[in-house]
Structures are given as structure tokens and as C-alpha cells.
Structure 1
């Protein structure tokens, strides 16, 4: 009998009855963890704490030096609206000390202002000081003048002098902003991907870096290092953080990747597979050795992947989102993204990218660093954001309960990440409550459908079977379901819908759930604590029946119901359909947290609601609870017929349109073959002289298109086919792009366009025999005989901004 047929007729079982290990405290030597007003950030062997309570935050990477400083306020507001708690950022040394002892902390290098704005937007900060940070930057961010004269990443005395001076400068910028001073900075990450064990290296070097940081004044509650690729570090002085990416653009294969390990639950080691470290260590590393002393924390779960010359994977939204149930279900107690927000390398630093020409392992674009992240290079929302935000909201609401839950493996598990014939799931439980995590998505590999499925979860004092009748789980599905939790005063035995958030009002609690695509939502309440269930809408087709001592409620997505508890209290349950949950934000407005449903990007800014709509001059948004007074708007806003329990508005903006015209300047010449080389012995980027063979077009754009009023931004959206695209304003290259089949988006407010100079687009031809990986959906080489360099379109796309204020 195969695993699939066995699971088609028997429950998928997990024994979660064994008590979890009690958290141990005082083992990790961290810094000052209490603020002047008594607030505390703590860490034990299993989870983080905030003010003494378990805490499971979301952290996202945004590099301040890669985003124009004028946009920090809005970009950090978007990050907060995405359900993120902590913003992390590398301090990239080469940007701050380009010449010895000449530091630059101005403009987009103003670390202090960035952290201050983060705090203003309600975000904590994790500062990743290196000094070697990788970040797809030349020499890992260490200035060339340092690399030229000393052995870096070691305890060489002169190198340490330079590092100490750099750390002291960072500390001066952060003075008064550390947690102990009442500021938002709760953590410092030392180095990155450190696995060197040669002379003056090894664990002792990390210990030295921590000592230098403390001596400089960088005294914070948490000190971390990356734990993958056989990392070495001093035990109990730092805690390792982990990660994983949905594809490996630093790989050397020109083929589609095999099933990736990030889609399989971890029940043994926290260490992921290849994360692209530039160095190697034959020893086992330290991460597994301290697993019983440190919590499972993440810092680099891929919010996307970068484009590297030899491999250019294109991700679908579920490729990133499906990692969440897997990693959380494996015990992760801090979910950290790299990257959450893309950007661009600073202007005029045109040799600062990682490249094989300067000894790097990979070739990156000179400027562009979109990363296919939830927020792109210009701060635009990519489709994956709608998949991730509901899970972030779940962690904000339920992370305290999840953090204490131990991990329990199923009775049958896949024998490897390439085994697609066994269901992938886990349970995290603490006593008689917990959560079920399931994943049936593996990037580029179809998982089977699982038919007639039920789960049987043995908890501390009871066994729960869910749902009441078997279900079918489709390929690609993933979900997080609650087991044995409480909603208000109602005990929820289980739900086949994912919890998202809770709202409180004078009428009582409202709990918001997300329907699982293809699976009917079902709520089972212990019958002794819920005496009545009714739909809010009398016309609703709500099914309620009793079975096995439970009240089984089967609502229709979008139609709320009310459960009256035995003590007379009431709770409202809203189950949103998948298409609505991806449009959902939860934002403060007019003194209350509210649900906002809209296709526009929504975020809060200084007490106002900001809505940004790309290309659509008319859009709607719905709100719950309804506004108590009609708000005002910078654009026409009309209340329309109520949509279910949501108050609905239609916003209309005067459309703005400009034409971008393109004129051919020169045809492409034949380019030489792409050759292997570098330390990876794989395809390397063409030499600088080769770019003279690129085809070129002039782009004409009215000056008004750069600063049209009423817009949050505007984009040049370029569709082309070739190898590498570059955009010049006069003689200055302002952006570049490795072709991957996706539109190349350039925010006109994210780059410097000189209206007195012509805009020129060049496209280096892609050869039919180029030994690089492209997604088959976007690979133009099929049937290509020689080379291609073509521009299909250049469009100007407006991003309308509407500000809604209290009436």
C-alpha cells in the first residue's frame, strides 16, 4: 500500500501529548534588556519575550541606503501595515566610509534618521553591523581600501582598529536610540555567514566583534549571528538565526531546481541547505550544538530571490507564502525576511555590486536590487504581499500562544525534501491547545491531491479529529488551523479556517478567519460553552448541528455569525474568502483598528489612511467596523451600497496619462558567447566592452510626467527581450536589469532623471546558446537561432494617492 492510498483511507495522525521542554533562562549572555520605563525584551532557550510574555514577532529587511531618504517615512509605514514588528537593515560599511576616516551619515546614509522614523512608524529595529554583511555588495560591504591592506574577517590588529572605529561611529549614530535608552533598537547582528576557522579566525573572532561592539556602546537585548553553512560562533555569547530561500540563484545549474528543502518540515536540524555563503567550512559548525539552549529564530527566509546573471528564477506568490506554514510549523519563533523591501544601490556607486570581476561568487546588476520582494525596488506591492499579510496578522494576534508550543512530527514523514508522495504537516501544541500546519506546495513541482483526509491530533488530555467529515486537499494548498484555542469565552475545538486577527468593540469581540481555498470552513465549539449560534444575516445559509459533544458550525465565507457563550457573552466570527483575504489590511483609524478591503495599497500615516492605486483611477475600499462619521478625502469618495457587513466606498481620481515614446537609435551587433569563469566556474557577465554592442532606443517623456501632482509615484514599465537592460539619463546609468521575463519597473521618483538630458535604453542581446537559467515561461531561446534584443513596450504608469482623514 502506498503512502498516498494509506492516507486516503486513514486519518493523518500526530501524537502531541508529550509535554514540551520547559524554557531555560539565564543561559545566554545578552546585553541590557530593560528600558527606562521598565519594558523588557528577553530570550530563553525556546522563545523571545516582551514584558515577560512570550513573543513571536515578524522581522523584515529594508536597506535604508538602497531607498531614497525622502521615501523612508512612507516605506516604513507600508512595512508596519504589512503586519511587521521589526525592521532590520545592514549597515554597509563601504557606503559610510568610502575613504579612510571620512564618514558619511547623510542623506540616504543617515542611519540615525532611519531608526528614528522606524520608531515613529511603530517599528522596532535590528541593526546588522557586520562588518562583513554580504548584501550582494563588493567585498561583502568592506571598503576596498581596507581589503587592499589587511586580512579581513579576522583578529588582525589593524583590521580590528578599523572595525572598532566603524563600530564607534555606528554607536554615535544610535546614541539614545538603543532599547536601554528608550529607543527602538533591540538587536545587533554580528558578521554574516561566518564559517572561517583559520589563523586569527573562528569563534574567537565573533567574540572579539561582540566585545568591540559593547566597548563602542552598542549594548542591546539581543546579539545574533547567522547559523547556516557550518557557521562558527562562541556558545552562549550570541544566538544563531536561520533562513532558507525558495530557489538558489547563486547555484550553477542551468536547469530547473529540484524540490527545495524550504517546503519540507524540519524535525531534526534547524540548519537549512545552501544559502549562498561565500566561504566554506568542512566542520559541522555550531548551530546544532546549541539547539537546546537557543530558540529557533529566523532572519533570512526569502521574501524573494535576487536576479543573478547565471540564474534568474521567477517566483510565484505561493513559492514564498508556502514557506510560512512550514517554517512556523518547524518551530520558528521569529520570522525574519530577507528581503522584505527591495531597492537600488546608491547612485554613483557603479562598481559596488558583487561581481565575479572583483572576486565575488556571483554577478549582480550594478544598481537594481528588486529581489522580487513583497515590496519591490520602488516600494510597489508585489502580489505576494496579499498572501503574507494575513499570516503576519495571525502572528501579531496569536504569536504569544504559538511561541510556547512545541513541535510534534506526524507518525509518517517524507524521507527527504524530494519525496512528494507523503503529506507534509506538523502540529505545534502546548497542553490541550495548538495549531496544525499543512503544506502541499513545492515550487515548480506538483504535489498530489490528498483525498478523503481527516487529521487526528492527540493532545495532553484529549484527542481531536478534524474535520467532522473527510475533505480533499488540492495540490498547492497550504494552511494553518487552530486546535483547542479559546475565542473570547468560547472553546474552539478546531476550525478548518486560518485565524487572522481579533477586533474589540463595544459590541464584543470580532474574530476574523481566512477560508482555505477549496475546503469548506468548519468551526467546532465545545457544546458546554456555546449555547446558541446564529447568522448575522437571517437570509444566510448557516449550517449548525451537534456531534460528539461539539457544536459544528459551517458558515459561508463572507457571511458572519454570532456565537452566544454560556455566560451570555457574544463573539462574532467572520470568515473571509481567499480573494478578499488577500485584499485585507488591519489599520488604526479614528481611534480604532479597522479591517480595510481594497485592491489599492493601504497604510496608515500620521492618523490618516493612505490608499495608493496603480493605474486604476477608480477603485473601491470597504471598512469594518463602519466609520462613526463620514471621513474626508483628497479625492472624490462616495459611499455605496453596503457590501455584507462592510461599509463600502468608491473613490474616483481624475485620470492622468502621459505617453512615453521610443525611437530606435542603433541596432544590436553580434555579441560573443557567454563564457564560464569565476570561482563558480559558471557563466559570467559579459565584459564592459561587450555593452557597446547593445541595441539602443531613446525614450521621450514629458517633464510633467516626473512630478505630476496627486500621485504617490509613477513608473516606467519596460517590457523587453534580451540579456541585460540599462537605462541612462544622459551619461549616467540610473538603473539596470537582468532579463527574466517580468516587466522592468522604474519609479520616476526612485531614480534621478535629468530632464535636460535624453533618456536612453540599451538592451544587450541574449544569445540562443547562453548557458544561463531562465524560467521556461519566459525563456525566448526556444526556436531562437542566434540572438535577440527587442523592446516590446515602454509605458508610463501612474500610482494615484488618496488620503482619507477623520471627518
Structure 2
């Protein structure tokens, strides 16, 4: 047997200059903070810029939670948010527009700006987003117009909508010093480029002037040159049929490839509503940069098909797109929400409204990095690691070409790629694919990248790469003006200056030895195992090498007048110079570098801080915080399952509507006065469930293997009087609903395994004393 590692080499060259000033968007050369689009990247303020955007729907969130969600989004590394402007939410009756409450687009945009976030307004008119009729008002649908075309009668109704949206955004566009940098026209419109062009022209004629105009480009869409096509990538899809074990498109997104298109996203709607078959994948676009707007931040569920997308799925797919050349990372969804309820009931897509899929009536959690009720999920932390890196070096990465070194659909082949400017770059390696079709570990991995002026081989001795990892290793990274990091088997996270000078932060990978090689070939020994105290002293710079667990706790936030690193055991964000934490457990440790002299706390008690190396650590005990087990009958009697039904244009399983035979579970909830938020977390098995507080229908859930969180916060008085009433329908495997293989095999019936009151705290830490 030959144990010698295979030769893996790739020659990279300096990319040629991009094509400029050839596209009908961007800003004049004299514009302050100018945004321009070249053939390969987006530019801002005269240098390449890699935007990081997350979808957050203001009209699906309680207005009082906007600031918290936006704060966490900014702390997660986003620099912009995208949001649908759903027509039905704003013009429920012809000519009567409503921008009040959580419909207040202007207030949402202004609040985003206070958190340092730009805004992409998805102005429709058709939006989809699992909204009934794609967000078209019922009255519009009932008129039977030739919608989504240049039919004059339809455009006569679009103009007042656009005029209203534009009035909301007046004074808030980038040219006016505001945060609105982009407008997306329509959504998933494949074969009407003339209509897309007309919509932009209409918006501009009404006064909307933004530097970037986009349209969704997947499915082989015909996007006119006046719009930048933006792409998607999902690791699963609730829109597939229940007999599909794993969508055919999904494995592709875990490989490195220059192909941008995805022919399957929205394909069921294209077929069912428009009668259009999938097109061929688009060819490589050499005149417009590779931009995404829908990297799957999670996945919704439908009644017939209920995928489980893991945090690792989300993070590894996103990283694969960077390795493939993405110049704009955009996530759908980044924060979940709740479907709106209108004059005719809840406004989700369903078989009853002509859609192929029945989705839950209320929840639009999407298992996003920030959940429907503000839950902070693991992929919020995993993605933040990537975003820290993009903030630190995105101006260089955006200008680097991507080249695939290896990796087909053969699971035995090492998948790797390089992004390079011809003299430096990053090596990407992956052994990750979801558990449905995992990849094996790779033995004796070593790669040589041949730059124009030198070769770099990393690592110096071949290493085994465990299964389930995606790696990004820097090559010839400039540490200072005269000192180069030739290579490292650790990921670059960020860099920051403190009183002792520059600090470059790297993250080790569990199971892979850290090797750091300087430009002269010197190998640097670590003074300690990777962790918060592993600091390498070099000439003019220090390296901090974190372990994976601490890398996932690392934030970079603007606190007390300067940027600081924060290691936190609870989700945190910055607000007007203060540190805000939302712990789910009473005791939390938070370390800061460079540290302020002291903190004062609201909502928690603080112990005296402890210093260790450059970090100062505070331990806090949060008030009114922590889980409380709630008594519940563990195996209630199973009610009668309704007879399965099918419906919609693709004849898929329909969600039950008859709950008359449901198992009814009543839960008395302990007092949660003082908690910032209170969730009832249910671990259960069954088919579908509804939660009521008194007469109010407050939550629903299609069981798919994850806990069901019911937000009690706004219903404290009613919960005290009535408790929570669950109506649960039993699981019947014979119905044929698709669930993930990891949760199959549950017995038929209903089982409530546990109920827990999750009390989430709100702690504000304000710095005192000298600011270092």
C-alpha cells in the first residue's frame, strides 16, 4: 500500500484589472463614500468591499424587539440587512396605506442605521417569502389582472405602492447620507427582463436613487444589464417532494465551483404557478461580480417535508461560497419572525391559496441564526467567525480570484480551492457534507500553491484532516509592513490594536496541529495550547491563537469609545457604547480586551474582575434568569389523527385543519415577572401542534425533531390566569410526511417529553474609569 500523499499543486496568477464603468448602477466618482460595481467586486470609498447581509423582516417582528435583533445582527458581523416590503401588509385595502406599528419601514431603516447597518429594500411588488400570494393583497389577486408584467392596469397599481415606499425612504438613501444602499426589484421572475427593467425605471422616475439595483438571478433567470443578479444556495429545501431524501442540488453547494446558479430554488413555484420548466445553468458571468442574497441561514418546514438544517450545514455552505469566489455574502433568513395575520386570517402560503406547500400558519422561525423569538443559535457564532475575518481582510479577499484545486462529486477526493491576488491568498479545504451523505477524513494532506514569485507548501509536513471540517489557511498574509505570515494551519479571525500594539487573532481547529511559518521560513512555537492565553510575541506584532470553543465566543464590539474583543458565554451586542447581554443561565463570564477599568451592571450582580494576560474577566449573576422545569403529563392520551389530505397544484400532503380530536395538554406556568423574555420550551413528538393562551392562538409547530418555543412574554397576565393550552395531533408514520433520518422512528402518537420555562435576562454593562 502506498502511503505517500498525492501531489496537490495549483498555480495562481495576479488577476487582471476589472472592467469598470460598464454597468448602469453605482455612484459618480465625486460621491462621498462612493459605491461602485466593477466586473469582479463591489467598491466602497475607493477600495474593494465585501458586503455581509442578513434578511430580517421588520413586519414579522414585534416593533419593541427590532433594536435587540438588529443589535445581535450587527454583533454577528453583518454590515447590512435586507428586508421585504410586503405589499399586503401596507395596502390592505385599495388606496389605504398603513405604515404604523411594526409596519413602520422608515423607523426600521433609521434604527438599522443607529446600529451601523446599511439596508437593502426588497420593494417587490411580488416578494414570495412564504407570504400568501407572494405578498400581493387579496384585493389585487381578486381583480384577475395580468400581474408581474407590463400590463398598464397592473403598473397603475404598482406606482402608488412604489411612491409610498419611496416616501418612507426619503432622506435615507446612501446619496443623502442614509443607510439605504440597494433596492431589489421583484423576486424569482425568470423570463420577463422587460418587466424587471420597467420596475427599476418606475422606481427611479418616482424618486428612488440608490447605487445598487438587484434582481434574483437563480433558475437561469433573464436579468437585464441594469440589474445585478444575486444568487442563492441552500443545503435543503422544504419545497421538494416528500419522497426526495436529499435534494439533488444540495451536494453541489458544499463543493468549490465557479457556477453561481441554482436551478431548484423556487422551481416548484415556477412549475406550479407559471408552468415554466427549469432552465439550464447560467454560464460564468465575466462582467458582473458574484453576489448572493439567499445563502440558507436555516430552513423553513412545510407540512409534507420538514428538513433539519444544522448550524454546521449553514456555516460550511457559506464558507464554500467564499472559496468559490463570492463577493457578497447574503443570508436568508438571518432572523426568523412570525407570519402576519390580516383581515382574512394568517397570511402564509398554503394549498388553499394555490401554493404547492402548506407551511405553518404563524411561525416563520426558519431555524435562522436569530430565532423567531430572539433565540441566538449556534450558527450565529459560527458565521460570526467568518464575518470577523471578512471585516479584517475582506477588502483584499474581494479582489482575489478563486481557483478550484480539486474536488468533484466523488466523496473520496479532497475538495480544495485558492483565492489569490497572485502574491498572497487563502487556501480552502473541506471534508464537510451533511450527515445524509458525509465525507470521509482526508489523510496526509499537503498543498503547494505556486504564486507568481514564490511557492508555498502548507503544512510543511502532511496532516490528516478529520471528517466534518472546513478550513481556511492564510498564505503570505502581511502581519506588518516588513513581516509576513507565510502560512498557518489556523484561521485568521481579526486584528486589533491595544496599548501593547497590534494583535492578530487566529483560530485553531480541533484535531489539527497549529503550524505557524513566517516569511523567512521560521516555524514559530506556541507558548501554550491554543486558548485566550496563547500569545506569540513577534517583532512588531503579537499573535493570539484561540481554541475552537473560544473562537466561537469571540466578538469585536465598539465599547466605551473603542473597538474591543469580547469573549462571552452569553449572546452580547453593543448599544451606545454599552455591552448588552441576553443570558439564558444565571451565571455568565465575560472577558474583554483591552479591558475598561470597571463595569457597572444593570440587571445583574457583578463579582470583582480577574485579570489573566491581556484579558479582564467579569462573572455576573443575572436577575430573573434561568430555566425552570414545568410539570406536564409526560404521555397524554393520544387523540385521533385526521384523515390525510392532499392539495395544491402539485398534489402534496396538506396540513390538518381539524383539531377536534386533538390531545389537549394544559400547562401551568410559573411566574416570570422580571425576565426580559420568557419562552415555554417543549420537547415533544407528534404531527402538528397549536398553542393557545386563553382564547388567543399564539403559536404553531410542525414537529420535525427540534424543540418548540412558545413566546409568553407579551401574554404574562393571560398566562397567569389561563396557563397554556396545547392541541396536539398524533404522529402517524403511514401518512408519509418526510422528516430527517436522524429523528425518524418515533412511535405513532403524541408524547410530551418535557416543558421548561426559559427565562432570558437583560444585562447592561457600562464601562467606568480610564478607557484603554
- The TM-score with structure 1 as length reference comes to 0.89
1:620 aligns with 2:589: yes
1:372 aligns with 2:367: yes
Alpha-carbon shift at residue 730 of structure 1 (Å) = 2.7
8 A Cα contact 1:714 1:747, kept in partner: yes
In 2, Cα distance between equivalents of 1:621 and 1:439: 32
Q: Aligned to 1:651, what secondary structure does the other structure show?
A: strand
1:40 aligns with 2:15: no
Residue 580 of structure 2 is matched in structure 1 by 610
In 2, Cα distance between equivalents of 1:215 and 1:83: 35
Alpha-carbon shift at residue 712 of structure 1 (Å) = 2.7
Q: Aligned to 2:660, what secondary structure does the other structure show?
A: helix
1:508 aligns with 2:490: no
8 A Cα contact 2:251 2:433, kept in partner: no
Cα displacement string for residues 431-476 of structure 1 (whole angstroms, at most 9, x for unaligned residues): 2111111111111222111111111101111111011111110000
8 A Cα contact 1:634 1:803, kept in partner: yes
In 1, Cα distance between equivalents of 2:696 and 2:240: 32
Instruction: Specify every segment of 5 or more residues in structure 1 that has no aligned partner in the other structure, as ranges.
Output: 197-201, 528-548
Q: Aligned to 1:639, what secondary structure does the other structure show?
A: coil
Q: Aligned to 1:153, what secondary structure does the other structure show?
A: coil
Change in CA separation of 1:753 and 1:68 when aligned onto 2, cut-off 3 Å:
farther
Change in CA separation of 1:458 and 1:692 when aligned onto 2, cut-off 3 Å:
same
Q: Of the candidates 192, 195, 205, which is equivalent to residue 215 of structure 1?
A: 205
In 2, Cα distance between equivalents of 1:644 and 1:318: 32
Q: CA RMSD in A?
A: 2.3
Q: Which moved more, 1:292-301 or 1:270-279?
A: 270-279
Cα displacement string for residues 635-694 of structure 1 (whole angstroms, at most 9, x for unaligned residues): 2111354345421111113455767555799955422442443222332222x2x22221
In 2, Cα distance between equivalents of 1:305 and 1:632: 37
8 A Cα contact 1:242 1:272, kept in partner: yes
Q: Of the candidates 228, 232, 237, which is equivalent to residue 243 of structure 1?
A: 232
In 2, Cα distance between equivalents of 1:378 and 1:394: 28
Q: Which moved more, 1:340-349 or 1:467-476?
A: 340-349
Residue 635 of structure 1 is matched in structure 2 by 604
In 2, Cα distance between equivalents of 1:771 and 1:118: 43
Alignment of 1:691-770 (within 5 A): 691-701=659-669, 704-705=671-672, 708-709=673-674, 711-749=675-713, 754-755=718-719, 759-770=724-735
Residue 424 of structure 2 is matched in structure 1 by 433
Q: Of the candidates 6, 9, 19, which is equivalent to residue 10 of structure 1?
A: 6
Q: Of the candidates 264, 269, 272, which is equivalent to residue 274 of structure 1?
A: 264
Change in CA separation of 1:469 and 1:677 when aligned onto 2, cut-off 3 Å:
same
Residue 359 of structure 1 is matched in structure 2 by 354
Change in CA separation of 1:477 and 1:31 when aligned onto 2, cut-off 3 Å:
closer
Cα displacement string for residues 373-417 of structure 1 (whole angstroms, at most 9, x for unaligned residues): 10001111011222111111100111001011001121x431x3x
Change in CA separation of 1:464 and 1:161 when aligned onto 2, cut-off 3 Å:
same
Alignment of 1:362-511 (within 5 A): 362-410=357-405, 412-414=406-408, 416=409, 419-444=410-435, 445-489=437-481, 490-511=483-504
8 A Cα contact 2:583 2:622, kept in partner: no
Change in CA separation of 1:673 and 1:237 when aligned onto 2, cut-off 3 Å:
same
8 A Cα contact 1:56 1:395, kept in partner: yes
Q: Which moved more, 1:146-155 or 1:651-660?
A: 651-660
8 A Cα contact 2:676 2:760, kept in partner: yes
Residue 339 of structure 1 is matched in structure 2 by 333
Q: Of the candidates 553, 557, 573, which is equivalent to residue 583 of structure 1?
A: 553
Q: Of the candidates 184, 188, 195, which is equivalent to residue 193 of structure 1?
A: 188
Change in CA separation of 1:729 and 1:470 when aligned onto 2, cut-off 3 Å:
same
Cα displacement string for residues 535-576 of structure 1 (whole angstroms, at most 9, x for unaligned residues): xxxxxxxxxxxxxx44444453124334443xxxx2010011
Q: Of the candidates 525, 541, 558, which is equivalent to residue 518 of structure 2?
A: 525
In 1, Cα distance between equivalents of 2:166 and 2:362: 28
1:175 aligns with 2:143: no
Q: Aligned to 2:388, what secondary structure does the other structure show?
A: helix
8 A Cα contact 1:33 1:220, kept in partner: no
Cα displacement string for residues 283-339 of structure 1 (whole angstroms, at most 9, x for unaligned residues): 7479537x1110000100001000111111122221111112210011000000000
Alignment size in residue pairs? 754
Q: Of the candidates 638, 643, 648, which is equivalent to residue 678 of structure 1?
A: 648
Alpha-carbon shift at residue 796 of structure 1 (Å) = 1.2
Change in CA separation of 1:636 and 1:348 when aligned onto 2, cut-off 3 Å:
same
1:561 aligns with 2:552: no
In 2, Cα distance between equivalents of 1:176 and 1:443: 45
Alpha-carbon shift at residue 749 of structure 1 (Å) = 2.9
Cα displacement string for residues 677-721 of structure 1 (whole angstroms, at most 9, x for unaligned residues): 3222332222x2x2222111223335x42xx22x33111111221
8 A Cα contact 1:96 1:105, kept in partner: yes
Instruction: Specify every segment of 5 or more residues in structure 2 that has no aligned partner in the other structure, as ranges.
Output: none
In 2, Cα distance between equivalents of 1:305 and 1:112: 28
